[in-house]
Structure 1
């Protein structure tokens, strides 16, 4: 047939098939196709002078796959897909598909059961409760974040400030009529808010498409589709672009461990075990009612690693926080009695996948952040694979978080018996590259908000929370605070409603927010807090064992040997003339006082200056004697002459 005859035939028939992409097919089944989103899914093509959209889907167990959508009145007989030779992939090229057209795959399983599935590689989806995919062309967005990307790729995250504001977009703020903000609304309101408070990064709880708001985005159906709750994919690109233009990095939460059982999602995708294992116990996560990925399948490896490439390359994200890594590492972490082939409880395939994932991602995106939420004592999570580690570059410090929150909830009279909870974290603080998280998980399910956890009177609760933040910011490790913590949300986080920003009408909450802002900027402007953040060279105890008075003090040190002195009082008792040993004699000036009147405390707002005297104290030859306020945290800096 001549080209014009082929063109006419295709236009009359409405679809055609292509015999091309053999290398892509091979690499996908080999598990090494790290841009598989460029082949699978729905993509515009031009062949035989015909504009069409090619659909490719992985359904190895299927008896037949048909494409259904708005363009064929959802009729399975109109567009039968063709299995690509010697593969588990199916394809069809369809003319007259329009942007935003909804579609699904009508899959006939090996037992002839019928399954209506969204596209695992779809770039866009219908807004819940609708469940179809939408054809969407990602090309054409004009980025304006070159300056940010250059600066990011030249920076050293280990020796730079990293202070993260964790956000659930649905419940940060809502409009007066209860409607959710769009990506554009959030760009205009969330970004200036975060920038003013002094955070360096925003971490978004999963924004990949998910059916149920109550899952917080941790049970996904569309890994390649930013949720349509807030707009289109290009709207989300705009949000990230605006973050970068305002010098704010973006970290996405990501869930490579498990997925939900919703009928249109990945579960039982082609009528058989596709993304999951055929072993029921290995496949099913009974604790969460979800299904685990099967990392032994090369195609699952390609799917997940491609997803990381996708968010980095097409959306310019600056990092990924990997959820529930412990559930990936251990076969029995969810309570199941499973063993590997050697009789151990480690998930060998998941471990191999994690190492491969990190190795490949850092090969192509060397300046990204790969943060593991890993809650066990698994060693070397954030150490290089070449040294025997898992290859992440950060790990959430769940031990510090549990210890400090348990300690802060105690009545101060009992704290002296639990002093180790304050100090134990320093025995392992440099075994990993840690992030200190006060995350969403700590303010839900009856755990109370951070402010409500604090014991004592109304005023003491605020003082205790300021003290907690003061300790957190001075403790080695990067920082993360969940939204609402900055102004003292009193009730637990509720994903169905906006934060209680009306609390800022009250003075105590206003002052707490101002304190958090000043604390964040104090952290960023003093490199003693972060320049040697991964080494004992950057930390030195002054007083570690004063359990009777519940006081600790220490120094944070930069590369030049300059020191900040941190003194923290975890009781409601003022201590006058309190001795603090100092390494260098001179005048010491407060650069932050959590008990200042402007923050809701009782001490004068201006900096206090204390002159050291020759006095053997805390293994040092000089000391300052200070007024240590109740529930007070003080940062001191040697005053230059």
Structure 2
């Protein structure tokens, strides 16, 4: 029988207090040597179980062979089974208080069988030899708020596959994805959830194995290789993470020992009716240890650079996705889930203590205040929030025929009213190009040329707008069809000039973005932006300035949301001198009409649009121009 040391007893105490941040080291399956014998130590929390056994091929799935021992009255069962090795397949056989036997996968398993099989797999925690020390040191010293951040969101299985439901491995994806994303100039890759899940079409958002990287693409060390290679190539890795709910599959967390353990006992709080899933019991200490440890596990054991936390609003509100009468008020008469709010704050505090300088991004779709503010001033403690309001407004605007855009001008300007209330990411994610919403390119109005021009316009405005950037795969080359999760991307489109030019455009846009500190250095400070003209709704033209810490890096941005060309158009500018058009989305190389400003634009000392100077320029159709002042005299350079 395995004896527990005083340190382990202390860990058990912390686990039940909700304070064990590395509970995966206590629970689960671990290769160990005990009394000179090598084998596997198993431990599982099943407080209501009458008996628990470890079963697998090694004992013909016979629960009488390897019963576990209950450790005092704390609900933790443990056993040491000699001679078991890496790769052992197992489950827990649990006798419930109702007299039923059920087989459950290990909630803390590090690996799982390939679906449709559902057993857990013994896998060592730390055998992989990392080679990303340089990246990890650089990450620690980087000011993430004042650095460029452009995220490529990807679903591995439908980025490229061998054939339907047959995928490449993490290592093979590393060899294909990383050079592609690096060449385009992105700074980060964001992966849709990779925790083990039974159903491909849930895209990973309905998980069963929270500590188990999905076996669809290989082993845990294969995934570590993917992350390692990203880091060695200068790319950060963010993982979508889903602490809000879990699926009801019989081998998973639902009624784990015959009673609600991981989910709320109250059905009105437990049921996520919109998705057919169950909500974690955020008030239960052991569940807090489970979830907080899980977040830390991905950040520490896989060297991930951040987590994008899915569906935060579904955690914050008791009535989320529910009809009237199907939910209950909290103890203060409100609709907020008080325990979830407390958990989120506690989670973020723990994460930033254990893994400083990582990214914790909230997908929070309401106006909950201070999502990306520290907990000590009343915030939820994330450091970024997805700007869903900007996304909804801009896609609604861009889908309009340009002739109607002047009547909805506020949709492109309103976001600046709240742009500095949070640290925002501007997301064009998978959710916006699926379920009949059309691809990003196909949302755009007009003929073939205008669709591509509108796409270039939208992307340039997005990169000029305050906030970090995220674009879902396929958008970078103008995929015409919306995301088809059972197929891979339409790579054959790159044989056509318009799509190849769009890919080249995104690459050039990233180069310009990274080269211009004004487009990212003061993303989260009001002094990083001011309007030149926000009110020209008649022509649907806006102009503004992006600032960096150096006044010499100031960028003037002019956007025209109609297909009309304007010559000799006056734009107010903040300083005298010559302005050079350093980027135009209408350049012929990108498939544009070539209505660019090739010659320097000399200022005229006459006030215009609230500025002391102005320039006269050509405004290209459905396009964005970036202008930068070039010093022409010694006085100018001072």
The TM-score with structure 1 as length reference comes to: 0.96
Q: What are the Cα deviations for residues 220-277 of structure 1, in whole angstroms up to 9, with x where unaligned?
A: 0111111111110001000000000000000010000000001111111111001011
Structure 1 segment 12-91 matched on structure 2, within 5 A = 16-20=1-5, 21-91=8-78
Contact 1:165/1:203, CA 8 A, preserved across alignment: yes
Give me the whole-angstrom Cα distance separating, in 1, the residues matched to 2:504 and 2:515.
Answer: 16
Q: 1:581 and 2:566 equivalent?
A: no
Structure 1 segment 130-169 matched on structure 2, within 5 A = 130-169=117-156
* Structure 1 residue 333, shift from structure 2 partner: 1.3
Give me the whole-angstrom Cα distance separating, in 2, the residues matched to 1:176 and 1:640.
Answer: 56
Aligned to 1:615: 606
* Structure 1 residue 174, shift from structure 2 partner: 1.4
Give me the whole-angstrom Cα distance separating, in 2, the residues matched to 1:180 and 1:325.
Answer: 30
Aligned to 2:162: 175
* Structure 1 residue 614, shift from structure 2 partner: 1.7
Q: What are the Cα deviations for residues 402-452 of structure 1, in whole angstroms up to 9, with x where unaligned?
A: 000000001111110100000000000000000000000000011100000
Aligned to 1:13: none
Give me the whole-angstrom Cα distance separating, in 1, the residues matched to 2:297 and 2:439.
Answer: 35
Give me the whole-angstrom Cα distance separating, in 2, the residues matched to 1:456 and 1:399.
Answer: 25
Q: 1:217 and 2:207 equivalent?
A: no
Give me the whole-angstrom Cα distance separating, in 2, the residues matched to 1:61 and 1:526.
Answer: 59
* Structure 1 residue 176, shift from structure 2 partner: 6.1
* Structure 1 residue 289, shift from structure 2 partner: 0.1
Counterpart secondary structure, 2:612: strand
Aligned to 1:114: 101
Aligned to 1:528: 518
Contact 1:82/1:92, CA 8 A, preserved across alignment: yes
Counterpart secondary structure, 1:86: coil
Q: 1:625 and 2:625 equivalent?
A: no
* Structure 1 residue 44, shift from structure 2 partner: 1.6
Give me the whole-angstrom Cα distance separating, in 1, the residues matched to 2:22 and 2:599.
Answer: 58
Superposition RMSD in Å? 1.1
Give me the whole-angstrom Cα distance separating, in 2, the residues matched to 1:93 and 1:169.
Answer: 37
Aligned to 1:417: 407
Counterpart secondary structure, 2:606: strand
Q: What are the Cα deviations for residues 482-502 of structure 1, in whole angstroms up to 9, with x where unaligned?
A: 000000010110111100011
Aligned to 2:379: 389
Aligned to 1:187: 174
Counterpart secondary structure, 1:104: strand
Give me the whole-angstrom Cα distance separating, in 2, the residues matched to 1:617 and 1:156.
Answer: 37
* Structure 1 residue 61, shift from structure 2 partner: 1.1
Structure 1 segment 233-312 matched on structure 2, within 5 A = 233-312=220-299
Counterpart secondary structure, 1:614: coil
* Structure 1 residue 18, shift from structure 2 partner: 2.6
Structure 2 residue aligned with 1:229, among 193, 216, 219?
A: 216
Q: What are the Cα deviations for residues 170-198 of structure 1, in whole angstroms up to 9, with x where unaligned?
A: 10011368731110111101000000000
* Structure 1 residue 139, shift from structure 2 partner: 2.1
Structure 2 residue aligned with 1:332, among 316, 319, 338?
A: 319
Contact 1:220/1:259, CA 8 A, preserved across alignment: yes
| Contiguous gaps of at least 5 residues in structure 1 | 1-15
Contact 2:595/2:620, CA 8 A, preserved across alignment: no
Give me the whole-angstrom Cα distance separating, in 2, the residues matched to 1:361 and 1:178.
Answer: 35
* Structure 1 residue 114, shift from structure 2 partner: 1.9
Counterpart secondary structure, 1:617: coil
Structure 2 residue aligned with 1:429, among 419, 428, 431?
A: 419
Of 167-176 and 434-443, deviating more is 167-176
Aligned to 2:483: 493
Contact 1:287/1:334, CA 8 A, preserved across alignment: yes
Give me the whole-angstrom Cα distance separating, in 2, the residues matched to 1:254 and 1:626.
Answer: 47
* Structure 1 residue 605, shift from structure 2 partner: 7.3
Structure 1 residue aligned with 2:501, among 487, 502, 511?
A: 511
Aligned to 2:636: none
Contact 2:595/2:619, CA 8 A, preserved across alignment: no
Contact 2:246/2:278, CA 8 A, preserved across alignment: yes
Change (3 A) 1:417 1:218: same
Aligned to 2:441: 451
* Structure 1 residue 47, shift from structure 2 partner: 1.8
Give me the whole-angstrom Cα distance separating, in 1, the residues matched to 2:436 and 2:599.
Answer: 41
Structure 2 residue aligned with 1:473, among 463, 479, 500?
A: 463
Contact 1:17/1:82, CA 8 A, preserved across alignment: no
Contact 2:164/2:486, CA 8 A, preserved across alignment: no
Counterpart secondary structure, 1:615: coil
Change (3 A) 1:461 1:608: farther
* Structure 1 residue 640, shift from structure 2 partner: 3.5
Aligned to 2:432: 442
Of 269-278 and 600-609, deviating more is 600-609
* Structure 1 residue 604, shift from structure 2 partner: 6.1
Counterpart secondary structure, 1:46: strand
Of 600-609 and 44-53, deviating more is 600-609
Give me the whole-angstrom Cα distance separating, in 2, the residues matched to 1:457 and 1:306.
Answer: 52
Q: 1:549 and 2:539 equivalent?
A: yes
